């Protein structure tokens, strides 16, 4: 009997937030992003991630982004990136 595969990590709030923020930053060419740390808070549901950006033309720099989830942690309702907070309307 074949066992069921483990659920993908992308289903965790930290992984979902990291993927979402990296997608927003993907428009910046010649930059590589790496997540350095992630903090998950329970009330309100929020994930904060610190990134390191590497670019051939500049020294590595750090930035922080966060995602706020609805109560059941299914949907991202707000995100903050580069100090700007935005709401996601569904």
Q: What's the confidence (pLDDT) of residue 49?
A: 94
Kindly state whether residue 73 falls inside one of the protein's structural domains. yes
Under 8 Å between Cβ of 49 and 21:
yes
| pLDDT score recorded for residue 29 | 63
> What is residue 1's predicted lDDT score, i.e. its pLDDT?
46
32, β-bridge pairs: 54
- Domain of 48 in residue numbering reads as 9-87
DSSP strands (E only) in 26-83: 31-41, 46-55, 58-69, 76-81
Number of domains in the chain: 1
Q: What is the pLDDT of residue 88?
A: 87
What dihedral do alpha carbons 68, 21, 90, 8 form, nearest 10°?
-90
Q: What is the CATH classification number for the domain harbouring 44?
A: 3.10.450
* Inside any domain, residue 2: no
Which pLDDT score is estimated for 2? 55
CA distance 46 to 51: 16
Q: What is the pLDDT of residue 37?
A: 94
Q: Give the pLDDT means over successive 10-residue stretches in the chain (90 positions).
A: 49 90 76 88 91 80 92 89 85
Q: Pairing state of beta strands 46-55 and 84-87?
A: unpaired
| Domain membership flag for residue 28 | yes
């Amino acid at each position: 009997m074949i066992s069921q595969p483990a659920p993908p990590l992308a289903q965790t709030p930290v992984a979902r937030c990291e993927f979402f923020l990296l997608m927003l930053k993907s428009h910046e060419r010649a930059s590589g992003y790496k997540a350095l740390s992630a903090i998950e808070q329970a009330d309100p549901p929020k994930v904060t991630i610190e990134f390191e950006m590497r670019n051939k033309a500049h020294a590595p720099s750090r930035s922080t982004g966060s995602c706020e989830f609805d109560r059941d942690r299914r949907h991202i309702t707000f995100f903050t990136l580069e100090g700007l907070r935005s709401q996601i309307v569904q």
